[in-house]
Amino acid sequence: MTVDMDKIVALCKRRGFIFQNSEIYGGLNGFWDYGPLGTDLKRNVRNVWWEDMIGRHDNIDAPAGAPSRFDMVGVETTIIMHPQVWKCSGHYDLFVDKMVDCRECKGRFREDHMAAIPCPNKPSKMVGQHDKCQLTEPRDFNLMFKTIIGALGTEEDAAFLRPETAQGIFVNFKNVCDSTRVKLPLGICQVGKSFRNEITPRNFTFRSREFEQMEIEFFCRPDESQQWYQYWRDRRFNWYINLGLDKAKLQMREHPAEELAHYSCGTADIEYAFPFMSAGEYGELEGVAHRGDFDLRSHMEGKLKNENGELVVEMNADGQPKHRGSGKDLSYFDDATRERFIPHVIEPSAGADRATLAFICEAYAEDEAPDDKGKMQTRTLMKFHPRLAPVKAAVFPLLKKDGHPEKAKEIYRALKDAGIAVQYDEQAAIGKRYRRQDEIGTPWCLTIDGDTLTDGTVTLRDRDTLEQVRLPANEVVDEISRRLRG
């Protein structure tokens, strides 16, 4: 089935997954709000990531495919950090996109995206392809949002909203090692908001100006870093497949040497064929990068770019580095080998909003299903993986009388008490209630009818197969919990 992005966007609005930010004021380009169901869906994406990376991580033995055992811990750091962080990380000098303006249509475009952006002039062509287009030379545009700390508001007080959560991890590497009993290999994880003043935000939430990242900085011995790089590429790729993304729509794109940052010995993007992309095109879900010792070393020593745009340590006349590092020793002492070294870092950096959007696009489906009179009708459903589905089960009394609602409410409350996201619905014909749940991706519906009151069983209906089975009402909580555990 070819998926129509307009239908997905419309469903997201209609059923309360995603809204345009500040919509009653005409919206703000590049900013999106999540409605009640979208909030639960995105929270599930975040929670499942956290559970799979940290909560369920076994740090006693090596997990399947891993070179050895390792630790995984979490941190939560602030959005605004010391301005020196961004100078030493390279973002202050180098976190730029090339921007091009058109004097004719007054549009502003990211140079490397122009070939895919339609020019507002008719007949429809891409930016720069009309004779009338008057494009300026590309200029550097720094993507960091600037703000001011304190009341005086001078340039001295300028600070930045973080464009990635990673730096909060690097600057706390020593704190984490000193305050816990973790040892290398060690992953430090963080989920949080990041901000980028994107020149051309587009494709729904795919490229937003405010978004959320789920990042791991994995610190290891330099001589083991290649093995860990392979491990994380494969593990993160499989994570998306296990949560329902179609393998045929996913690709691992290994960056060619000329695309790599000078400090990196490997970067692979995990990409998904979003429905808004043309055939053969993919959009990045996550980057897995081998970053060497670049980040920790930069925060020790300081950085500046030279005339070739390469980051080097440049000395001021007073013999100090221009972008001064912290001067703190961020090396690691390996008790087992009695060696001291600066750890190498593997960084799997995922976007929570992009992952959520991919799960939404993958879940959208239409098929034919019988209505209340047995007539086949087109049905829209969201085939979310049960771990991600915002609502796991819905409980319906067949009738609004004869003791059905009382029994249905009892089952609803038992599911609630077990911590399972459940809805109760007694409005409209049963077929209509099923459709409402199908459209928001509820995997299982439970119907209470006359038989429930005599033999104590209920009907459990599966969203995808439409299969209906009867089971004892007092086994519903166990059965749904078992199915959720997979």
Distance CA(387)–CA(443), nearest Å, equals 10
Q: Is 207 one of the binding residues for ligand ATP (CB under 6 A)?
A: yes
Six token digits for residue 253? 């794109």
Stretch that binds ligand ATP, among 75-83, 174-182, 204-212, 363-371 (CB under 6 A): 204-212
Phi, psi of 236 (to 5 degrees): -70, -35
Q: Which is nearer to ligand ATP, 165 or 423 (CB)?
A: 165
Q: Kindly state the smallest distance separating residue 75's Cβ from ligand ATP, in Å.
A: 17
Radius of gyration of the chain (CA): 26
Beta strands in 205-282 (DSSP E): 210-220, 250-254, 266-272
| In contact, 18 and 153? CB cutoff 8 Å | no
Stretch that binds ligand ATP, among 285-293, 408-416, 427-435, 444-452 (CB under 6 A): 285-293
Nearest CA among 469, 466, 468 for reference residue 379: 466
Q: Kindly state the smallest distance separating residue 235's Cβ from ligand ATP, in Å.
A: 16
Q: Kindly state the smallest distance separating residue 150's Cβ from ligand ATP, in Å.
A: 29
Q: Kindly state the smallest distance separating residue 279's Cβ from ligand ATP, in Å.
A: 19
Q: Which residues pair with 32 in a beta bridge?
A: 20
Q: Is 382 one of the binding residues for ligand ATP (CB under 6 A)?
A: no
Q: Is 217 one of the binding residues for ligand ATP (CB under 6 A)?
A: no
| In contact, 443 and 384? CB cutoff 8 Å | yes
Stretch that binds ligand ATP, among 45-53, 234-242, 345-353, 451-459 (CB under 6 A): 345-353
Distance CA(180)–CA(194), nearest Å, equals 27
Q: Kindly state the smallest distance separating residue 205's Cβ from ligand ATP, in Å.
A: 7
Distance CA(159)–CA(81), nearest Å, equals 7
Q: Which is nearer to ligand ATP, 208 or 442 (CB)?
A: 208
Q: Kindly state the smallest distance separating residue 463's Cβ from ligand ATP, in Å.
A: 28
Stretch that binds ligand ATP, among 60-68, 126-134, 250-258, 348-356 (CB under 6 A): 348-356
Stretch that binds ligand ATP, among 125-133, 281-289, 334-342, 446-454 (CB under 6 A): 281-289
Helix (H) / strand (E) containing 405:
helix 404-417
Q: Is 295 one of the binding residues for ligand ATP (CB under 6 A)?
A: no
Q: Is 349 one of the binding residues for ligand ATP (CB under 6 A)?
A: yes
Peptide bond into 256 cis (omega under 30): no
Phi, psi of 348 (to 5 degrees): -85, 110
DSSP, residue by residue, 213-243: EEEEEEEE-GGGHHHHHHHHHHHHHHHHHHT
> Which parts of this chain interact with ligand ATP (CB under 6 A)?
164, 196, 198, 207-208, 211, 213, 284-287, 349-351, 353-354
